[in-house]
Chain A
């Protein structure tokens, strides 16, 4: 049995697009370029609406952006 080890929060960035940028440098990616565009759009909208610069958006919501 193995337990998931929780690293320090924000290890790869404060938003998923920052995570993605860092992951692409080091490993590979979690989403396609098109999904990344949608993700950045969502993060911009959240920032405009709430002022929050820290969030993590899940795949379901990324693909809801048309």
Chain B
């Protein structure tokens, strides 16, 4: 197991790079593969300023960090465009602070990842469309849970509108965080959450999932029914 204690920044003029973890034991389980950890000085593990960045088979630590991974953007994507088309695949985000932050941007794709929070003071996925609207993001086949048995404090997924054409499907959410939200979307949003499972006896839309304009279909709690508003 290799651990890199660095605050990595991917500069703007380097589009379409990939960061893929290599393992000599088990490439299918990034928990024991290549690991990127924050530095105390920076507080972040990975800041992406380049478009179309791809991450695969990595474990990124979010302990003591502002974000494990930040897909960043400036106002007009002229010098910072990390949130334009980033992809994250088969990656573990582990630790107690904010996991992946996407600021503005287009067409991010987060697929088959595990988010292991735990006594978190922030969300595992933080989608910020408050300064620039966020378009066409996809989160699929992900697992959101705690870490070492600790409860998350905040919603696993936090959406700050405006976003449009947001899609989340086939995701699994572990025990409900202390603030009672699995997903918390505020602002003006359009999108779909479909076929997701929530570890709760009986969630309601007013607490467990705050939709903020997003449509919910096929969401299941212990009663196997779409939650009532």
Contacts and interface: CB of A to CB of B under 8 A. Distances in A.
Interface of A: 1-4, 6, 23, 27-32, 56, 58-60, 63
Interface string B45-72: 0000000001011000000000000000
Interface residues of B, number: 28
B24 A59 contact: no
B11 interface: yes
8 contacts: A1-B8, A1-B42, A2-B9, A4-B8, A4-B10, A28-B22, A58-B89, A59-B90
Given A59-B57, A60-B89, A63-B112, A31 B8 contact: no
A16 to B, nearest CB: 9
Contacts, number: 62
A23 B23 CA distance: 10
Contact of B109 (A6, A27, A32, A60): A60
B6 A2 contact: yes
Contacts of A59: 56-57, 89-90, 111-112
Interface string B91-126: 000000000000000000101100000000000000
Contacts of B6: 2
B27 interface: yes
The 9 closest A-B pairs by CB, nearest first: A28-B24, A59-B89, A2-B6, A59-B56, A29-B27, A27-B22, A28-B22, A28-B23, A60-B111
